[in-house]
């Protein structure tokens, strides 16, 4: 499978706990994006990387959220001190900056905060 891979697919946690999601992009893609999608809404941009550099962060990304892409390959999204409002699907996408910019999405990591 050469698509975007996300793990875990579903995470249930208690309020106040930390969670981490991992994304493995398509291997030749140098851009990686994180989006958040809540029920009945379209995905909302959180942040993106070109190689290992984090180039933009949305205002939606509070201080409790941190994303890394240490070697320009996989990325992690950590949420500290989770709140019930963090419950959502966290989508990762990748693209090739030299192409048309089409984003290829993973299947997402669903977070449920109790």
Partner 1 sequence: QKEVEQDPGPLSVPEGAIVSLNCTYSNSAFQYFMWYRQYSRKGPELLMYTYSSGNKEDGRFTAQVDKSSKYISLFIRDSQPSDSATYLCAMSIYTGANSKLTFGKGITLSVRP
In terms of CB distance, is 80 or 105 closer to partner 1? 105
Report the distance separating Cα 16 and Cα 113, nearest Å: 9
- To 10 degrees, the CA torsion angle through 63, 104, 52, 55? -50
Q: Does 98 bind partner 1 (CB under 8 A)?
A: yes
Residue with token string 């994006």: 33
In terms of CB distance, is 45 or 74 closer to partner 1? 45
Q: Does 49 bind partner 1 (CB under 8 A)?
A: no
Residue with token string 């290992």: 52
Q: Does 107 bind partner 1 (CB under 8 A)?
A: yes
User: Per-residue DSSP letters for 72-97?
Assistant: SS-EEEEE-S--GGG-EEEEEEEE-T
Q: Does 25 bind partner 1 (CB under 8 A)?
A: no
Q: How far is the CB of 5 from partner 1 (least distance, A)?
A: 11
Report the distance separating Cα 74 and Cα 23, nearest Å: 6
Q: Which of residues 57-86 bind partner 1 (CB under 8 A)?
A: none
Residues that bind partner 1 (CB under 8 A): 4, 6, 31, 33, 40-45, 48, 55-56, 91, 93, 95, 97-108, 110
């Amino acid at each position: 499978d050469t698509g975007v891979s996300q793990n875990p697919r579903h995470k249930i946690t208690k309020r106040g706990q930390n969670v981490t999601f991992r994304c493995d992009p398509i291997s030749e893609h140098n851009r990686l994006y994180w989006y958040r999608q809540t029920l009945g809404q379209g995905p909302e941009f959180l942040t993106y990387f070109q190689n290992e550099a984090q180039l933009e962060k949305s205002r939606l990304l509070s201080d409790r959220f941190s994303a890394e892409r240490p070697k320009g390959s996989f990325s992690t999204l950590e949420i500290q001190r989770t709140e019930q409002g963090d419950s959502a699907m966290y989508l990762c996408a990748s693209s090739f900056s030299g192409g048309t910019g089409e984003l290829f999405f993973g299947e997402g990591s669903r977070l449920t905060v109790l």
